[in-house]
Chain A
């Protein structure tokens, strides 16, 4: 075995010395990668899945990081024993890396042409030659109008294009290894499929080895030959993607696979005879000439979950903001029990805020870091003092926390002392404090790990049963919607393209757009995904 692999990580242990004590980020990690091969490292946040890649790229700051033990053999040589200059020379030339959020990973003040050429000029290519090569690369990764776009800045590209730019940058010098750290997590499903496809084509052209770091079993199924599953800094399972999915041996892997959404029973539609709690008619929102929301009409029944799905720019978040009156509608109405909440005055709106609450995507940002959990939840009572006398606030907060699975002892703590899933529970408790009848969830579970996601979805479902809540559930993640919604609304460019009961949308979509959206989703089973891919390629060929 020894020395056979292009890249081999042996017994790698990395610690981080923080103010709160030493964190063992990875312990005794072993894996290897050969030419033309794709290895996926699968794990949830905090599993240490990115740490070995950062160690390879010399991206770990020491201190606070410390490489405690192990070797990283590239072509048989331990990179950890190389000089800084030798390691710098490997980066970008022999081993390249792309990251999750391409906008923040591209320098905003330099043209993309400069940034791609820089990889080459840094490693000795002449400027004129580099620019010619950049044009080839931009064409290869599919940037339209690349001759002019070479002098554009990162903010002038779409999310998918930016990731293509990152790929062009990484592959400029035809590296032997490409490390892709959650390369498609921030992208829409259809764009994700295109980017993964591009990566695969390029891998076939160059024969590079690819290390793919992801939390998404679907991405693993689509791309990986082998997979390493990590949990709390340790590898719990390794094998071919197919074996690991079909015959997981470690309980953690089993749990992870079990938590993947999109496999459960779909909900039956509610009786349409009930009077809707919210009725939106021809709601529009224009920003200058740009139509963000174009005559959108929908209803929400009591106790119903209506999911709004669509890609970025479809107008789904604008819909939520307009209904919450965070944005003023340009035209149309939204009737809450017959009263139009789009036009109502501030005092009336203030009362109505009790009935309609919201839960946002990122609980880290939507909770005030300087307020204790008690203060966050009880703020609702401060704003609406007629609900509850002050003497009962503590008891009520305790009760609300119990509803969302948190303990009374958590009341005096601050948001940073909780995990992502717990924070979203706090946000839900805050929304429940006013006993609302409708909760608008804007990507409420998108930032959470799958296992946490499953728990929060379960919680939302329980609360719906208990309190008869309605949800307007805005999401881009179709499997989650499939498991959770009664009805689904598909949006594109500010318009509703299709709506219907969940089973109809998923099993018999009528519109091509919906069909494509569903087809672009990745299935966690490598066999099913291989079938889907074949079907998709056939469709493209035809």
Chain B
């Protein structure tokens, strides 16, 4: 297990390094930041001054070198737009995104497992048909549309919840609800499919012959075996949320990392973009290792 974690950490570090290089050079290809930051009629001198101040005049390779040496000290530099370290801005936003992701995925996981398992127990039954119908709608509806419709319906027309921002528990309801729908539909389908296979397995037959109650057959014998493929999909969906739910965060004015990333890209605030990519990448690598550990915990046959 220890050597597995070491191997994974090394592999993750290599991927991360590649990512940092790629993003640094690609972001420089998007154009000259001075045209964006300074007024259109800014003088050549002030442009030159701006470039000099932010090191944009040095050759790309020098900029990259100094960037790397800063990075080694986890110093991403200051945000060009905001007068604060880029990492601070990113971490602040990331905490919001992390909360949103954890709350959403916890709800999704619990609900999808319960509903999917019960649907699988009576395949083709009324409950199964209703669950399948709604999960397919959920899995296929575009979230920007749901987000806007939800705002119109629940915030504007009914006035139940605020339209955007943060502050109270009520601010969380719509973002969580909208983010919930698609992963819920998808994971429910995976749980259901996996559970159908598991419930027809030989060891479930043994459990029935032992007189084990249906509830224990589903949630003790079935679930743990059915979870393996489900965990993979949960990880995938959680990674998407950790990256920042760009559309939903933007629509709801939610100060998460997705919104920060989009804003920074539009403003060519390279230091923030890089810091955001770095932070989310590290988070996703950590999450993948946790998922590998969960595999081994769920299935004693998996040993690293």
Q: How far is the CA of A104 from the CA of B205 in the complex (A)?
A: 10
Chain A residues with Cβ below 8 Å from B211 are: 88-93, 119, 122-123
Instruction: State whether the Cβ of B201 lies closer than 8 Å to any Cβ in chain A.
Output: yes
**A88-B213, A123-B211 in contact; A109/B206 too (CB < 8 A)?**
no
Instruction: State whether the Cβ of B202 lies closer than 8 Å to any Cβ in chain A.
Output: yes
Instruction: State whether the Cβ of A381 lies closer than 8 Å to any Cβ in chain B.
Output: no
**What is the distance, in angstroms, from A125's C-beta to the closest C-beta of chain B?**
12
Q: How far is the CA of A59 from the CA of B209 in the complex (A)?
A: 7
- Which A residues between 40 and 63 are near B, CB-CB below 8 angstroms? 57-59
Chain B residues with Cβ below 8 Å from A91 are: 208-211
Check if A118 sits within 8 Å of B212, measured CB to CB: yes
**A99-B205, A104-B201, A107-B221 in contact; A118/B210 too (CB < 8 A)?**
yes
Chain A residues with Cβ below 8 Å from B209 are: 57, 59, 91-92, 96-97
Contact bitstring A74-114, B, C-beta under 8 A = 1, else 0? 00000000000000111111001101010011111110000
Q: How far is the CA of A123 from the CA of B213 in the complex (A)?
A: 10
Q: How far is the CA of A123 from the CA of B209 in the complex (A)?
A: 12
**A90-B211, A92-B211 in contact; A108/B206 too (CB < 8 A)?**
no
Check if B216 sits within 8 Å of A122, measured CB to CB: yes
**What is the distance, in angstroms, from A427's C-beta to the closest C-beta of chain B?**
26
Instruction: State whether the Cβ of B225 lies closer than 8 Å to any Cβ in chain A.
Output: yes
Q: How far is the CA of A91 from the CA of B206 in the complex (A)?
A: 10
Check if B205 sits within 8 Å of A107, measured CB to CB: no
Q: How far is the CA of A371 from the CA of B133 in the complex (A)?
A: 35
Instruction: State whether the Cβ of A169 lies closer than 8 Å to any Cβ in chain B.
Output: yes
The residue in B201, B205, B210 that gathers the most chain A C-beta atoms within 10 A of its C-beta is B210
Contact bitstring B197-229, A, C-beta under 8 A = 1, else 0? 000011101111111110010001100110000
Instruction: State whether the Cβ of A153 lies closer than 8 Å to any Cβ in chain B.
Output: yes
The residue in A90, A109, A110, A118 that gathers the most chain B C-beta atoms within 10 A of its C-beta is A109
Check if B210 sits within 8 Å of A155, measured CB to CB: no
Check if A122 sits within 8 Å of B301, measured CB to CB: no
**A88-B213, A109-B225, A153-B300 in contact; A104/B202 too (CB < 8 A)?**
yes
Q: How far is the CA of A518 from the CA of B299 in the complex (A)?
A: 40
Instruction: State whether the Cβ of B149 lies closer than 8 Å to any Cβ in chain A.
Output: no
Check if A101 sits within 8 Å of B202, measured CB to CB: yes
**What is the distance, in angstroms, from B32's C-beta to the closest C-beta of chain A?**
57
Chain B residues with Cβ below 8 Å from A99 are: 202, 205-206
- Number of A-B residue pairs having CB atoms within 8 Å of each other in the complex: 73
Instruction: State whether the Cβ of B14 lies closer than 8 Å to any Cβ in chain A.
Output: no
Q: How far is the CA of A84 from the CA of B301 in the complex (A)?
A: 34
Q: How far is the CA of A109 from the CA of B204 in the complex (A)?
A: 12
Q: How far is the CA of A105 from the CA of B200 in the complex (A)?
A: 11
- Which B residues between 275 and 304 are near A, CB-CB below 8 angstroms? 298-301
Chain B residues with Cβ below 8 Å from A123 are: 211
> Contact check: which of A89, A92, A118, A155 meets B301 at CB < 8 Å?
A155
Q: How far is the CA of A77 from the CA of B216 in the complex (A)?
A: 27
Interface residues of chain B: helix, strand, loop or mixed (majority): helix
Chain A residues with Cβ below 8 Å from B213 are: 88, 122
Q: How far is the CA of A57 from the CA of B207 in the complex (A)?
A: 11
Chain B residues with Cβ below 8 Å from A89 are: 211
**What is the distance, in angstroms, from B136's C-beta to the closest C-beta of chain A?**
24
**What is the distance, in angstroms, from B302's C-beta to the closest C-beta of chain A?**
10
Check if B203 sits within 8 Å of A104, measured CB to CB: yes
Chain B residues with Cβ below 8 Å from A108 are: 203, 225, 299-301
Chain B residues with Cβ below 8 Å from A119 are: 210-211
Q: How far is the CA of A59 from the CA of B203 in the complex (A)?
A: 12
Q: How far is the CA of A57 from the CA of B208 in the complex (A)?
A: 8
**What is the distance, in angstroms, from B205's C-beta to the closest C-beta of chain A?**
6
Check if A106 sits within 8 Å of B203, measured CB to CB: yes
Check if B210 sits within 8 Å of A109, measured CB to CB: no
Check if A109 sits within 8 Å of B216, measured CB to CB: no
The residue in A101, A105, A155 that gathers the most chain B C-beta atoms within 10 A of its C-beta is A105
**What is the distance, in angstroms, from B226's C-beta to the closest C-beta of chain A?**
10
**What is the distance, in angstroms, from B198's C-beta to the closest C-beta of chain A?**
10
**What is the distance, in angstroms, from A69's C-beta to the closest C-beta of chain B?**
23
Check if B210 sits within 8 Å of A105, measured CB to CB: no
- Which A residues between 163 and 221 are near B, CB-CB below 8 angstroms? 166, 169
The residue in B213, B216, B225, B300 that gathers the most chain A C-beta atoms within 10 A of its C-beta is B300
Q: How far is the CA of A27 from the CA of B278 in the complex (A)?
A: 69
Q: How far is the CA of A108 from the CA of B302 in the complex (A)?
A: 11
Q: How far is the CA of A153 from the CA of B301 in the complex (A)?
A: 8
**What is the distance, in angstroms, from A86's C-beta to the closest C-beta of chain B?**
11
**What is the distance, in angstroms, from A377's C-beta to the closest C-beta of chain B?**
33
Q: How far is the CA of A155 from the CA of B201 in the complex (A)?
A: 16
**A153-B301, A155-B301 in contact; A122/B205 too (CB < 8 A)?**
no
**What is the distance, in angstroms, from A171's C-beta to the closest C-beta of chain B?**
12
**A88-B213, A122-B211, A123-B211 in contact; A105/B301 too (CB < 8 A)?**
no
Chain A residues with Cβ below 8 Å from B205 are: 59, 99, 105
Check if B210 sits within 8 Å of A107, measured CB to CB: no
Chain B residues with Cβ below 8 Å from A166 are: 206
Check if B208 sits within 8 Å of A59, measured CB to CB: yes
Chain B residues with Cβ below 8 Å from A88 are: 211, 213
Q: How far is the CA of A123 from the CA of B212 in the complex (A)?
A: 8
Chain A residues with Cβ below 8 Å from B221 are: 107, 110
- Which A residues between 310 and 335 are near B, CB-CB below 8 angstroms? none
Chain B residues with Cβ below 8 Å from A90 are: 211
Check if B207 sits within 8 Å of A109, measured CB to CB: no
Q: How far is the CA of A155 from the CA of B213 in the complex (A)?
A: 25
- Which B residues between 17 and 70 are near A, CB-CB below 8 angstroms? none
Q: How far is the CA of A133 from the CA of B275 in the complex (A)?
A: 60
Q: How far is the CA of A104 from the CA of B225 in the complex (A)?
A: 13
Check if B203 sits within 8 Å of A107, measured CB to CB: yes
**What is the distance, in angstroms, from B126's C-beta to the closest C-beta of chain A?**
15
Q: How far is the CA of A106 from the CA of B73 in the complex (A)?
A: 53
- Which A residues between 6 and 46 are near B, CB-CB below 8 angstroms? none
With A92-B209, A104-B202, A169-B210 given, name 9 new contacts (CB 8 A): A59-B209, A88-B211, A91-B211, A107-B225, A108-B203, A108-B301, A109-B299, A109-B300, A118-B210
Q: Can you list 5 A-B pairs, Cβ within 8 angstroms, ordered by A?
A: A93-B211, A101-B202, A106-B206, A118-B212, A122-B213
A interface residues, Cβ below 8 angstroms from B: 57-59, 88-93, 96-97, 99, 101, 104-110, 118-119, 122-123, 153, 155, 166, 169
The 3 closest A-B pairs by CB, nearest first: A91-B211, A92-B211, A92-B210
